[in-house]
Structure 1
Amino acid sequence: MSLEIQYITKDNQIQAADGRDTVPYDVTFTWYDYNSFDDKEALLSDFELDRGRLEDEATKRYRPQYYNFDDYQLLICHVINSETFEAHAVNIFVMQDIIITYHDGVLDDFIDIAEIIKHKHEDLEIDIALHILHQTVEQYFDIVHNIEDDVILFEEKHGSEKKGDDITSKMFDVRKEIFRVKRVIIPMEELVEKFKEQDDLFNSKRSESILSKIDSKIDRQKLIIKFSEEMIDEMKDNYISYNTYRMNKIINVLTIISAIFLPLTLISGIYGMNFKNMPELDWAAGYYITLGVMLLISVGMISYFKYKRWM
């Protein structure tokens, strides 16, 4: 079982425990970190939690959630893999003087309990939950900035290219990355709004400050995503417009060629019917006259098309 336990003693010292049985009874705060989705059954046996509300790899929902139960609150947020852009859930259970995290991976880079304890007050568990949420949103900046850089580099590299199936494929790859990130970031805004409505839980100035920072960062991330999305859409539109223009030019040339050969084909068809009563077939210069007429028709049509600026 991948369980890490940290607790705070009466004199505000942070200690680690090897298991639940080794945690002293008189601690002021305890953090249980189940850092593998394989620990689901152990978590449910250690604490009385709602099984149906947990989110892991088997129950991906991709939307941040907040549930307020009688004995605890459950926050579900998501971290984004910077390579695959897959979202992975972080379940945060907030209880009286206890916080439980259930996720896949390690949260060491997300939270510094010692820093939070400096401003310790009665709602430490809520502070830590909001801090994890804040650091999760902070992590999104790395993702959205990478997407923005990819879009700019893509424009610099392929902006002047006019054809190629690989360009379209790369555009769709970038759009897929943007979609995956939006699927996580946009609903996070709804979660923050839910917290703001919980006046009985998130009513301290510190909580309001953290929620305000989270809200502000989400707005900035949405702007970056919108900018990247608009850039890739403009490049896609330019690419489609150019290829449509190019295709129209090709069709125009083929249409002109067909129009020129249409009367020539008609003449060839008439004199290819081999009827006996066709006086022109007995003319000594009939062949040359027919070629001359066909040449005059071709030159006349080409001149007319150029006059009309159709070619």
Structure 2
Amino acid sequence: MIRIQAINQQNKMVFDPPLAELEVMKWYWVDFVDPTDEEIGLLSSHFKFHPLAIEDCIHSLQRPKLEYYDDMNFLVFHSLDPETLEAQEIDVFIGDNFIVSFHFQDLKEVNLTWNYFSPPSAHGQFKPVEVTYKLMDKVVDSFFPLVEHLEDQLATIEDADRVKKADKTIMETTFTVRRDLFKLRQIVVPTRDLVYRILESKRFILQEHKRAYFQDIYDHLIKLSQMIDSNRELTSDIRDNYISLNSYRMNNIMKTLTVITTIFMPLTFIAGIYGMNFVHMPELEWNGGYFAVLTVMLLLGTGMFAWFYSKGWFEND
């Protein structure tokens, strides 16, 4: 699908004019949404865009970038599917009096920008660079709820009761959040570098008051990068704490088993001696031998328990 909005020489908004009339417009925006092969061919046959730029459009998931072709700029950046966090490429051609956007998905951010510039009162005061700013701003703003949702998940993981119980779902959730943060970082950081390049570009002409808008996007991307990095560090801390807690619990179990084994070792030794089938064992013929051995074993076990207790083996940290 191709949709067009333009401003004519009378400063009136025109929707979907014939392509042949675009050259007489003050400026226009052509949006390719999941185009057919025939519509893709218009990039070359009608708009005369550079073959390398067209190739980047067709072969999606290019790295965010800014390239220059003759009298236009070519941008590649991405939005994110809020459900899967999969990248959705947006390609934008920007000239002095036109903007052509190209994407294979029906994107919310593009639709919001399209509707923002649709009212007739809006068109006379905007140019392609403002459309580009607004589109990128909508895309970047859509990243914040995704990062904040992951932060909420981490806050749930940090709940003291779950950590104390070493809930086995903690690690599953932590690794899921860490994977999603990685996906976000793969988009946010290159986009940040792209906006920085726009700000520093000598060919992407920005008036000083327009530069402030792109600087605002850049600041948002810096904040997003910091949020993502701090949350990734938090996932590492949660993982390390979980491993430490499990090690602590395992050490307590081993300590308990060690105490039990140590107490019963001499008792087993005594029982083993008197369990031998020797013919001449004087204590076997003593009437009080049975109770004497039990008493010795009881005193020995109690004494060892008291000794371990005095050493603090039964204290909870």
State the TM-score bracket (shorter-chain normalisation).
0.7 to 0.9
Give runs of ≥4 in structure 1 deviating > 6 Å: none
Aligned partner of 1:29 in structure 2 is 27
Unaligned segments of structure 1, at least 5 residues: none
Aligned partner of 2:75 in structure 1 is 75
Instruction: Indicate conservation of the 8 Å contact 2:2/2:39, yes or no.
Output: no
Match of 1:46 among 20, 43, 48: 43
Q: CA–CA distance in 1 between the matches of 2:125 and 2:93?
A: 21
Instruction: Indicate conservation of the 8 Å contact 1:7/1:31, yes or no.
Output: yes
Change beyond 3 A, Cα 1:261–1:18 = farther
* SS class of match (1:75): strand
Aligned partner of 1:11 in structure 2 is 10
Q: Count how many residue pairs are aligned between Structure 1 and Structure 2.
A: 300
Identity %: 28
* SS class of match (2:142): helix
* SS class of match (2:74): strand
Between stretches 38-47 and 176-185, larger displacement belongs to 38-47
* SS class of match (2:125): coil
Change beyond 3 A, Cα 1:202–1:96 = closer
TM-superposed deviation, 1:171: 2.8
Q: CA–CA distance in 1 between the matches of 2:280 and 2:161?
A: 63
TM-superposed deviation, 1:303: 0.9
Aligned partner of 2:175 in structure 1 is 172
Aligned partner of 2:112 in structure 1 is 109
> How large is the RMSD of aligned CA atoms in angstroms?
3.0
Instruction: Indicate conservation of the 8 Å contact 2:7/2:124, yes or no.
Output: no
* SS class of match (1:297): helix
Q: CA–CA distance in 2 between the matches of 1:41 and 1:257?
A: 80
Q: How does 1:160-309 map to 2 (within 5 A)?
A: 160-161=161-162, 162-163=164-165, 164-226=167-229, 228-229=231-232, 235-276=238-279, 278-309=281-312
- Residue by residue over 1:30-84, the C-alpha shift from the partner in whole angstroms, topping out at 9 and shown as x without a partner, is 3221111x5466324532432442366xx435x4222223354221111122233
TM-score, normalised to structure 2, is 0.80
Change beyond 3 A, Cα 1:159–1:308 = closer
- Residue by residue over 1:143-163, the C-alpha shift from the partner in whole angstroms, topping out at 9 and shown as x without a partner, is 2333334444x258x432232
Instruction: Indicate conservation of the 8 Å contact 1:4/1:18, yes or no.
Output: no
TM-superposed deviation, 1:93: 1.6
Instruction: Indicate conservation of the 8 Å contact 1:35/1:102, yes or no.
Output: yes
Unaligned segments of structure 2, at least 5 residues: none
Q: CA–CA distance in 2 between the matches of 1:229 and 1:187?
A: 17
- Residue by residue over 1:157-216, the C-alpha shift from the partner in whole angstroms, topping out at 9 and shown as x without a partner, is x43223222233233333333232222212221111211221122342243122211112
Change beyond 3 A, Cα 1:292–1:212 = same
Q: CA–CA distance in 2 between the matches of 1:277 and 1:70?
A: 111
